[in-house]
Amino acid sequence: MVYKMSDDNTVYIGKKETMAYVLASVTLFNEGAEDIFIKARGRSISKAVDVAEITTRRFLSNAEIIDIITDTEQIKDGDKTINVSSIEITIKVKE
Amino acid sequence: MVYKMSDDNTVYIGKKETMAYVLASVTLFNEGAEDIFIKARGRSISKAVDVAEITTRRFLSNAEIIDIITDTEQIKDGDKTINVSSIEITIKVKE
């Protein structure tokens, strides 16, 4: 599965280092986004939380995490269907 | 650092397999808890989301995730202080 790193206002967390996604997030805000979404599945979920925490605490003190939702997605692996947890973190510029 | 697996209404996610924490969560509800907290730090955050998703979707359809918050905790490692992300997931019996 190939993820683009960012698309519209969404940053998809994959195998790159954490700071690459922090930079992608900060860039979206600098380009004028008022809210962005950080999405991850499976083991990348921990990294998504790191990205959201670092982005809001170290780089963008005028932005905050306003919503976190989780889900279970079904992914086909050959004949089997695997359940994988996912997370979507919304960061928004403070008003 | 030693975590107890559950304390009052909180399940602390550590190195055991996911289903051990699902069982701990289900047990807390079966013992009468109306809401429980699943807490994790660092790489265990992904497992915490798995535990919450499996607990609510497969075992306790009358419970739901009502809140997810993240934080950054500072942990001393010798002379250094390391920032570690944490998560707290609240699951509550539906009314």
What is the domain range of residue A37? 7-93
Structural domain count, chain A: 1
- Give the domain CATH number at A47: 3.30.110.20
The answer to whether residue A2 sits within a structural domain is no
Among B43, B52, B53, beta carbon nearest to A46: B43
Q: Tell me which residue of A80, A87, A61 sits closest to B47, measured CA to CA.
A: A87
pLDDT of residue A2: 44
Contacting B residues, span 57-86, partner chain A, CB-CB under 8 Å: 57, 65, 68-72, 83, 85
pLDDT along chain A (95 residues), means of 10: 66 97 96 95 97 96 96 94 97 91
**How many Å lie between the alpha carbon of B52 and the closest alpha carbon of chain A?**
9
Strands in B6-7's sheet, in edge-to-edge order, are B6-7, B10-12, B35-41, B80-93, B63-77
State mean pLDDT over B29-55. 96
ipTM: 0.89
User: Does A50 touch chain B if contact means CB atoms closer than 8 Å?
Assistant: yes
**B7: confidence class by pLDDT, cuts 50, 70, 90:** low
Instruction: Give the whole-number percent of chain B exceeding pLDDT 70.
Output: 93
**How many Å lie between the alpha carbon of A41 and the closest alpha carbon of chain B?**
9
Q: Do B65 and A70 touch (CB under 8 A)?
A: yes
State mean pLDDT over B5-25. 92
